[in-house]
């Protein structure tokens, strides 16, 4: 069968399946879809009710519900054999033709109080600076080693990223991912095993949060609910739990 047409969402969405983002905090109840409808709409691939980031950015995708229509649109925008990642309100229930590769509970946390910082003086061998496209290879290597979440060659296009280097070696990073009116996600927080325990992650997160606050927005993030160590760090930085999602990493088998 011919491949379904996929459009960039800067073009008008299909009239028969209009979709509109809510305003205010409800945006956070479907953060991937609403980021693709608002702050990252120019990056979004669209078909009917479904949106996704290009494969070179990552598998994050959004649908408004788990209806047959939503999954049909998701299949069209994903493409044959593609993997997508969804945040769902209920247990994943994809129709035939999808394989659930991974699930789990993801906690959403928001930083709503006064700005809190956790920055330490870096050791002499360490320097911190903004990351750019020239750092992509090193960023992908660090992400592959530490698995902070989906990270591809174009993920850096989603927002500002900062890294800590020992000499020319990238040993820790953090940056921004989802972007919605009023909120920006802190993401890709990771440190090489050789440097863990030195406070690099909270230092980088504080820098990313400063960047978000400078935009007049509120930092938020997502973490596996079982990642107690990471959640403890986030709480010390002032993040509080808002809600949980069911993660669904799905492969399109048709």
Q: Domain spanning 110-243 has what CATH number?
A: 3.40.630.30
Give me the residues paired with residue 180 across strands.
183
CATH assignment of 7-105+247-252, among 3.40.47.10, 3.40.630.30, 3.40.50.1820, 3.60.150.10: 3.40.630.30
pLDDT for position 121: 73
Per-residue pLDDT of the chain (254 residues; tens, 9 = 90+): 444 445 444 433 332 344 555 555 899 999 999 999 999 999 999 999 999 999 999 999 999 999 999 999 999 999 999 999 999 999 999 999 999 999 999 999 999 876 566 666 788 889 999 999 999 999 999 999 999 989 999 999 999 999 999 999 999 999 999 999 999 999 999 999 999 999 999 999 999 999 999 999 999 999 999 999 999 999 999 999 999 999 999 999 99
Q: Which of 121, 114, 174, 115 is nearest to 149 (CA)?
A: 174
201-239: buried (b, 16+ CB within 10 Å) or exposed (e) per residue?
bbbbbbbbbebbeeeebbbbbbbeeeeeebbebbeebbb
7-105+247-252 shares its CATH topology with 110-243? yes
Structure confidence at residue 124 (pLDDT): 82
Phi/psi for 84 (5° steps) reads -125, 155
Q: Which of 77, 117, 85, 118 is nearest to 102 (CA)?
A: 85
pLDDT for 117 equals 62
Question: What tokens appear for 216 in the block?
Answer: 């007049």
The vertex-59 CA angle with 76 and 42, nearest 5°, equals: 75
Rounded to an integer, what distance in angstroms lies between the CA atom of residue 191 and that of residue 195? 7
The residues spanned by each domain of the chain are 7-105+247-252, 110-243
DSSP letter for each residue of 36-105? HHTTTTTT-EEETTEEE--TTT-SBEE-SSS-HHHHHHHHHHH-TT-EEEEEESS-----TTEEEEEEEE
Q: How many angstroms separate the Cα of 186 from the Cα of each of 33, 196, 230?
A: 17, 19, 13
Please give the backbone phi and psi of residue 166, each rounded to the nearest 5 degrees, phi first: -105, 105
Q: Are 170 and 157 in contact (CB under 8 A)?
A: no
Q: Which residues pair with 224 in a beta bridge?
A: 106
């Amino acid at each position: 069968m011919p491949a379904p047409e996929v459009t960039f969402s800067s073009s008008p969405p299909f009239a028969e399946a209009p979709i509109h983002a809510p305003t205010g905090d409800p945006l956070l109840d479907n953060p991937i879809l609403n980021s693709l409808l608002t702050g990252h709409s120019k990056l979004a691939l669209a078909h009917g009710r479904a949106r996704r980031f290009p494969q070179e950015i990552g598998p994050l995708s959004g649908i408004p519900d788990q209806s047959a229509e939503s999954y049909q649109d998701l299949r069209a925008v994903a493409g044959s054999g593609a993997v997508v990642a969804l945040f769902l309100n209920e247990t994943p229930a994809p129709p035939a033709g999808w394989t659930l590769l991974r699930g789990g509970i993801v906690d959403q946390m928001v930083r709503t109080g006064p700005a809190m910082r956790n920055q330490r003086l870096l050791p002499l061998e360490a320097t911190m600076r903004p990351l750019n496209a020239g750092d992509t290879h090193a960023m992908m290597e660090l992400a592959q080693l530490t698995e902070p979440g989906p990270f591809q060659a174009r993920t850096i296009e989603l927002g500002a990223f900062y890294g800590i280097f020992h000499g020319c070696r990238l040993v820790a990073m953090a940056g921004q991912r989802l972007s919605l009116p009023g909120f920006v996600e802190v993401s890709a927080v990771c440190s090489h095993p050789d440097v863990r325990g030195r406070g690099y992650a909270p230092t980088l997160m504080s820098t990313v949060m400063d960047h978000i606050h400078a935009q007049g927005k509120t930092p938020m993030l997502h973490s596996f609910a079982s990642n107690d160590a990471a959640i403890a760090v986030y709480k010390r930085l002032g993040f509080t739990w808002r809600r949980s999602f069911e993660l669904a990493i799905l492969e399109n088998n048709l």
